């Protein structure tokens, strides 16, 4: 019985000193604070869910796989624009659209806000954005 107590006491001291060492003695500069990783600056969507939305809303003008439709939407496969904007900027763009009178409009065709489907949520649009990012060649 006594021996067991001694073993337990030694173990307890060992554990305590290990904890102290791991914490750098309390004052060391080597203590690492474990925090949750910083939230990514741009939330990214799910390209699989995005494809389903794309295929019902954007496909009419941008074509299957985003190849574009002559006289309607621009192709995403070769879009320089997609390479220069981040997801947040692209989200704002899709929510706003690019009307015929807009200085950046190159086609003389309207890009309607949310592709003409006001029911699309930001999350759904981010899914679509994740999908169209996979289309670039
Ligand atoms: C009614 C047709 C139409 C629909 C539907 C449509 N677009 Fe467009 N979209 C356009 C046109 C036209 C342009 C090109 C405007 C211009 O001349 O710059 C365009 C441009 C874009 C661009 C910029 C491409 C570039 O290289 O400049 C993005 C991104 C885009 N659309 C995303 C979407 C998304 C996402 C959807 C579905 C939610 C969608 N569009 C639905 C017509 C459409």
Calculate mean pLDDT across residues 7-32: 59
Structure tokens at 87: 């997801």
Over residues 40-52, the pLDDT tens digits come to 555 589 999 999 9
Q: Which residue has the higher pLDDT, 16 or 95?
A: 95
* Model-wide pTM > 0.85: no
pLDDT at residue 6, as a whole number: 66
CA angle 98, 102, 107 (to 5 degrees): 70
Pocket of ligand 1 contains residue 62 by CB under 6 Å: yes
Tell me how far apart the alpha carbons of residues 83 and 72 are, in angstroms, rounded to a whole number: 21
Ligand 1 atom closest to residue 72's alpha carbon, by position in its atom list:
12
How crowded is residue 18: how many other Cβ atoms within 10 Å of its Cβ? 10
Sequence ranges of the domains in the chain: 47-133
Give the contacts of 61 (CB within 8 A, at least 6 positions apart): 69, 72, 73, 109, 111, 115
pLDDT average, residue stretch 118-137: 96
Which residues have a Cβ under 8 Å from the Cβ of 79 and sit 6 or more positions away?
136
Q: Hey, what CATH topology would domain 47-133 get? A: Cytochrome Bc1 Complex; Chain D, domain 2 (1.10.760)
pLDDT score recorded for residue 35: 74
> Is any atom of ligand 1 closer than 6 Å to the C-beta of 75?
no
């Amino acid at each position: 019985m006594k021996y067991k107590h001694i073993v337990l006491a030694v173990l307890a001291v060992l554990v305590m000193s290990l904890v102290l060492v791991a914490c750098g003695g309390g004052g060391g500069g080597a203590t690492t604070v474990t925090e949750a990783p910083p939230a990514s600056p741009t939330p990214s969507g799910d390209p699989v869910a995005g494809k389903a939305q794309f295929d019902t809303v954007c496909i009419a003008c941008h074509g299957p796989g985003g190849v574009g439709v002559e006289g309607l939407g621009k192709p995403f496969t070769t879009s320089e624009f997609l390479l220069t904007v981040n997801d947040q900027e692209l989200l704002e763009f899709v929510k706003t659209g690019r009307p015929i009178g807009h200085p950046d409009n190159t086609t003389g065709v309207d890009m309607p806000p949310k592709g003409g489907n006001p029911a699309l949520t930001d999350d759904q649009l981010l899914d679509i954005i994740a999908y169209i990012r996979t289309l670039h060649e």
